Amino acid sequence: MSLTQYKGFGGASLSADMLGDENDPAVLLVPDIGQRRAMWRDVGDALVLSGRRVVNLDLRDDAGPAEGRSLAPYVEDLRAVLAQMGSRPVVVAGGRGGWIAARALGLDGAHLAAGLVLVDLPVDEQGSLDDVAARLALPTLVVRGGLAPVNDDTIPNAFDAALPLGETAHIDDCDLALASDRKEALLGQLLEFLERHQPREAMEFKAGSDPRTLRDAMGCFATGITIVTALGADGAPVGLTANSFTSVSLDPPLLLVCIANSAGTAPTLRAARHFGVNVLQIGQQPTSNRFAAKGEDRFANQPWAPGQTGVPLLGGSLVSFECQHESLHEAGDHFILVGRVVRAQFEPHRDPLLYFRGKYRRLHFA
């Protein structure tokens, strides 16, 4: 076992015990508010024996009664920790730690975690969790009576029913003679869930399988990130974030990008005679987020200038390619836009912004 420190919201330092082989599938244990990581120690040891890498986390140590604390810093802490982990873990949260985990994973949880286990989740007195449950688009197991007998504070079944990919286990339905039986029953539920949603063996995609598995497989290929830009019919600039980009040919100079048919800018890019591809550098992560978000004024406060063909080229990019439309090919739920490069400008002394397994990365030099 080793101790590590994660950086949380506002620079808070969060301690965690690291247990097991770093090459095994990861499980992140989150305690109840007001408790310490020691509450999960026995469970963590058992998970290690079952071939799991365990990160046993302490929440921030804030003063004041647990019931009166704002959840926002805890939620941002957990999202920060998940962003710093090298792989998507299954998150196991106890008590009010489940409030934190559910909210942290309610928006883009499938990019941050492989699954969620909520143990003895109490009634949420700060707001309805049902809306949060409906947004949890990742496998979720609700365990009742996992650490203590079920009581009236257990959250009602409306939460379970709202989960898109949820399932429920009632430990008190088991034959419990001793307190240790409850722990064994909880471990049994955890391991069964882990084996189905985070197997120790290599994952496999076959035709007809869950498309999330294929997405995870594709995400094992590290890429750069680009912003594809063009001018609309009204002369206004449009753009979107894309990482499906590649060089095609040097003679003639061709490149391609893959654009989702559902993208709001897709009709403009289909019709544009010219378009730009801006390869982002490490300092442009906010730009990537802005051009990936919906409802944003993407060019607000964003330095850009028209290229020689008029297409918007983003200031500060690692490379900006100015392209003439060469061809377009339909490809499932995307289309492949091939461009002939008419001009490229680049800054060779910057580092690229990378993307791997659903997270931003940066170069590490040997």
Q: What is the CATH number of the domain that holds 315?
A: 2.30.110.10
Report the pLDDT value the prediction gives residue 53, as an integer from 0 to 100.
Answer: 93
Give the DSSP letter string of 203-265.
P---TTS-HHHHHHHHTTS-EE-EEEEEE-TTS-EEEEEE--EEEEEETTEEEEEEEETTSTT
| Domain assignment present for 214 | no
Last-in-domain residue among 175, 209, 243: 209
Report the pLDDT value the prediction gives residue 69, as an integer from 0 to 100.
Answer: 67
Q: Are residues 112 and 84 in the same domain?
A: yes
Q: Which residues contact 178 (CB under 8 A, 6 or more apart)?
A: none
pTM value is 0.59
Distance of alpha carbon 203 from alpha carbon 309, whole angstroms:
46
| Domain assignment present for 366 | no
| Domain assignment present for 315 | yes
Q: Are residues 19 and 149 in the same domain?
A: yes
Task: Show pLDDT as tens, one digit a residue, over the chain (366 residues).
Answer: 789 999 998 889 999 999 998 888 999 999 999 889 999 999 999 999 888 999 999 999 864 545 556 889 999 999 999 989 878 899 999 999 999 999 999 877 778 898 999 998 887 655 567 678 888 888 999 988 877 776 655 555 677 788 888 888 777 655 544 556 677 888 888 988 998 888 776 667 677 766 767 777 787 788 999 999 999 999 999 999 999 999 999 999 999 999 999 999 999 999 999 999 999 999 999 999 999 988 778 998 899 999 999 999 999 999 999 999 999 999 999 999 999 999 999 988 889 999 887 778 877 654
Q: Are residues 223 and 356 in the same domain?
A: yes
At 292 the three-state DSSP class reads helix
Q: Are residues 163 and 232 in the same domain?
A: no
Last-in-domain residue among 151, 174, 209: 209
Distance of alpha carbon 109 from alpha carbon 220, whole angstroms:
18
Report the pLDDT value the prediction gives residue 126, as an integer from 0 to 100.
Answer: 55
Q: Are residues 44 and 161 in the same domain?
A: yes
Looking at the structure of the chain, the number of domains it has is 2
Report the pLDDT value the prediction gives residue 161, as an integer from 0 to 100.
Answer: 81
| Domain assignment present for 31 | yes
Q: Quick one: DSSP state of residue 150?
A: -
Q: Are residues 106 and 182 in the same domain?
A: yes
Q: Are residues 238 and 355 in the same domain?
A: yes
Q: Which residues contact 81 (CB under 8 A, 6 or more apart)?
A: 6, 8, 14, 16, 28, 57
At 196, list the tokens. 């189905």
Q: Are residues 203 and 235 in the same domain?
A: no
**CATH number of the domain encompassing residue 162:** 3.40.50.1820
Q: Are residues 227 and 253 in the same domain?
A: yes
Report the pLDDT value the prediction gives residue 366, as an integer from 0 to 100.
Answer: 46
Report the pLDDT value the prediction gives residue 196, as an integer from 0 to 100.
Answer: 84
Q: Are residues 169 and 36 in the same domain?
A: yes
* CA-closest candidate to residue 220, choices 202, 232, 241, 198: 202
Report the pLDDT value the prediction gives residue 198, as an integer from 0 to 100.
Answer: 80
| Domain assignment present for 137 | yes
Q: Are residues 193 and 224 in the same domain?
A: no
At 14, list the tokens. 């969060």
Last-in-domain residue among 153, 187, 209: 209
- For residue 226, the enclosing domain spans 219-361
Report the pLDDT value the prediction gives residue 177, as an integer from 0 to 100.
Answer: 47
Q: Are residues 233 and 155 in the same domain?
A: no
